[in-house]
C-alpha cells in the first residue's frame, strides 16, 4: 500500500493500534477541507502494530487531548516535505474542558459556565480526579 507523503501538515504517529478513529472523531478531523489519511495496524518495531494519521494541512491540535487518550503518541510537524518538529506526548498534569465529570452533584455538571477541570493524581495508572468533587475520571467520559 502506498500513502503519499505530505508537504505541509501533521503526522500523528505511534498511536496505539485501534485508537486512530477515536482521535479522528475527537479532533473533528472530518470537518477539515484537506486530505486526511488514517493508517491502521501499520508495522511497528516497538509495539508490533500502530496507527498513523496524516493531515495535509497545518492546524492547531489540543495536545492535552492526545496526551490523555494515548501518551505514546508522537506528533510530527512537516514543512516543505521535512519533519521540522517532533513532539512526544505524555499525560498532562491538568486538563480543562476535555473530560466531563460524571458526578451529577458536581458544580461542573450543574453550572454550564464552569469548565470541567481534572488533575492527574496517579501518573503510573493514569488516574485523573475532578478538581471540584474529586470524582475519578472514567476513560469513556471524553
Q: Each residue of 3-45: pLDDT tens digit?
A: 667 889 999 999 999 999 999 998 889 998 888 999 999 988 8
Q: Residue 29 sits in a domain of what CATH number? A: 3.30.70.140
Question: Are 82 and 44 in a shared domain?
Answer: yes
Q: How confident is the model at residue 104 (pLDDT cuts 50, 70, 90)?
A: very high
Lowest mean pLDDT among 65-69, 105-109, 132-136: 65-69
Q: Residue 128 sits in a domain of what CATH number? A: 2.30.30.20
Question: Are 104 and 127 in a shared domain?
Answer: yes
**Helices first, then strands: H and E counts in the chain:** 3, 8
Cβ 54 vs Cβ 32: under 8 Å: no
Full-model pTM: 0.81
Mean pLDDT within 65-83: 91
Question: Are 33 and 84 in a shared domain?
Answer: yes
Sign (positive or negative) of CA dihedral 25, 96, 123, 125:
negative
Range of 77's domain?
Answer: 9-88
Residue 45 is predicted with a pLDDT of 86
Question: Are 71 and 112 in a shared domain?
Answer: no
Q: What φ, ψ does residue 61 adopt, rounded to 5°?
A: -110, 135
Please give the Cα distance from 133 to 27 (Å, whole number): 27
Q: How confident is the model at residue 121 (pLDDT cuts 50, 70, 90)?
A: very high
Task: Report if residue 4 sits inside a domain.
Answer: no
Residue 44 is predicted with a pLDDT of 85
Mean pLDDT within 66-93: 92
Question: Are 82 and 104 in a shared domain?
Answer: no
Question: Are 65 and 100 in a shared domain?
Answer: no
Amino acid at each position: 500500500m502506498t500513502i503519499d507523503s505530505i508537504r505541509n501538515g501533521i503526522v500523528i504517529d505511534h498511536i496505539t493500534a485501534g485508537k486512530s478513529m477515536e482521535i479522528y472523531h475527537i479532533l473533528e478531523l472530518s470537518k477539515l477541507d484537506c486530505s486526511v489519511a488514517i493508517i491502521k495496524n501499520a508495522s511497528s518495531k516497538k509495539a508490533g502494530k500502530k496507527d498513523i494519521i496524516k493531515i495535509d494541512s497545518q492546524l492547531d491540535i489540543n495536545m492535552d487531548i492526545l496526551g490523555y487518550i494515548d501518551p505514546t503518541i508522537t506528533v510530527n510537524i512537516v514543512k516543505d516535505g521535512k519533519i521540522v518538529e517532533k513532539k512526544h506526548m505524555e499525560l498532562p498534569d491538568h486538563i480543562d474542558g476535555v473530560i466531563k465529570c460524571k458526578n451529577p452533584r458536581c458544580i461542573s455538571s450543574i453550572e454550564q459556565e464552569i469548565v470541567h477541570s481534572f488533575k492527574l493524581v496517579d501518573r503510573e495508572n493514569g488516574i485523573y480526579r475532578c478538581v471540584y468533587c474529586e470524582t475519578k475520571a472514567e476513560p469513556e467520559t471524553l
